[in-house]
Structure 1
Amino acid sequence: MVKKTKINKENLVALFMDVVLEHNEVPKSVYSFAKMNHFEESEFYRFFGSFEALEAAIYELFFENTMKTLEKSKEYKDYDAMNQFLSFYFTFFGNLTANRSYVSKSLHLEMGGLNHMKKLKTLRKKFLNFIDELDLGVIDIKNKRLDDIKDSVVNESYWIQMLVTLKFWLDDDSADFEKTDLFIEKSIAASFELANTKPLKSVVDFGKFLFKEKISMR
């Protein structure tokens, strides 16, 4: 008799990721997924209502693991907002890189599709809460044309920046994803300069970088 697999949220996620990578597709049904991994279908529903919910939880776990890592760092707590934001990006994309085969399979879509993917919905919520805590969206308005910008709009721009970075990382074939590291540094520096209406040296520098890499923003 085959021994039943002990099920919890974490090993359901691990089993699901393995199945997707080994079979190159999402399981046909919860029943077949449970059967191939030797547990009862009802056990799955104790943690997730669907594969869609499980997929969203995977990206939520990437976020939570990132925050746990940062919170263990004494240096992180002393950083200013920009360096905390950079630390988040590098740690988060480090987590993605450790699981690149799955993430690439899961997210390799056109850029226009990423913002509408339900599997990123929970990540988006967590990310925007993180932005609020960093207070990145509070702009010292020095330009009258920006008077009507709302915090929610500013925060949404940071989410779009995350999606653009995801797209760049998915397409990056440089050694150790060095180009993505440069992309992160330059894009965040540029976004902070724009937010504070400082001289736009970093914005111009970032624009030159994008032109050089010939990234498609479609």
Structure 2
Amino acid sequence: MEMLEKIRKAYTEYVLENGKQPTSVFQFAKKLKLTEADFYTHYTSFDAIEADVWLAFFTDAKATVDADETYQSYSVREKLLAFYYTWIELLKAQRSFVVYSYGRLRAESKGQGLRGMTPKAPVLNAFKDEFFDFARDLLAEGRESKEVEPRPFITDRYPNALWGQTLYLLDFWVRDVSKNFEKTDSAIEKSVNTTFDLIGRSPLDTLFDFAKFMYQNK
């Protein structure tokens, strides 16, 4: 673990100082007093290092909220809010790297994605996979607590919607120039509340249940 952290730290420092990835694994490893073979026992490429950094942002945020006793008593809506606030706080500590990496990924994805800005890149895949597991667990808990309304053909898309929301918030924060990123805090609150208003039970669900009852008992 110490060697992984050492490699990640050296990589982030390099890209921030040079504005690009190293061009040679051999030279990068040599500066760390590693052989090229040693490097490849830990990472297969520079993109793999970057993917691990993005994953660490997520796992550290999740570990932080999970360790908070009060978090366990939160509603699902409050848990998602707490996660996003914690995640953004962790990103702040390495904002320069996040802005660099996000900009690179967005450029490489040629502007594809949410709002034509967010990246669709393999570097985010490990983060995305872990986030989807987190989202599915939250949504399952929400169905039990009646905060999330199951809907035919739509329920399975809920994790995708939360992932899209995550990328939106990341994009918003990278572009946010407000004092102490106050607008990002508002974006988190408004987006999460809107999401749960949409996936929670609504008058339309009541109307659908009534129509179904009428049909079954005509």
The answer to whether the superposition gives a TM-score over 0.5 is yes
**Structure 1: which 5+ runs fail to align?**
1-5, 200-218
TM-score of the two chains, using structure 1 as the length reference? 0.80
Of 91, 94, 104, the residue aligned with 1:96 is 91
Moved over 6 A (4+): none
Match of 1:206 in 2: none
Of 132, 140, 157, the residue aligned with 2:149 is 140
Question: How far is 1:115 from its partner?
Answer: 4.2
Question: How far is 1:40 from its partner?
Answer: 1.8
Match of 1:193 in 2: 197
Matched, 1:15 2:10: yes
Question: How far is 1:112 from its partner?
Answer: 3.4
Match of 1:178 in 2: 182
Structure of higher CA gyration radius: 2
Matched, 1:117 2:121: yes
**Structure 2: which 5+ runs fail to align?**
204-218
Match of 2:33 in 1: 38
Does the 8 Å contact 1:62/1:95 carry over to 2?
A: yes
TM-score of the two chains, using structure 2 as the length reference? 0.80
Matches within 5 A, 1:52-91: 52-91=47-86
Q: Distance in 2 between matches of 1:114 and 1:105?
A: 14
The C-alpha deviation readout for 1:106-125, integer Å capped at 9, x for no partner, is: 00234536341111111110
Q: Distance in 1 between matches of 2:161 and 2:117?
A: 16
Q: Distance in 1 between matches of 2:193 and 2:154?
A: 20
Identity of aligned residues (%): 32
Of 157, 164, 171, the residue aligned with 1:160 is 164
Question: How far is 1:8 from its partner?
Answer: 1.0
Question: How far is 1:36 from its partner?
Answer: 2.9
Match of 2:212 in 1: none
Question: How far is 1:104 from its partner?
Answer: 0.2
Q: Distance in 2 between matches of 1:187 and 1:19?
A: 35
Match of 1:107 in 2: 102
Does the 8 Å contact 1:7/1:43 carry over to 2?
A: no
Q: Distance in 2 between matches of 1:45 and 1:91?
A: 32
Q: Distance in 1 between matches of 2:187 and 2:75?
A: 20
RMSD between superposed Cα atoms in Å: 2.0
In the alignment of these two chains, the number of paired residues is 189
Question: How far is 1:12 from its partner?
Answer: 0.8
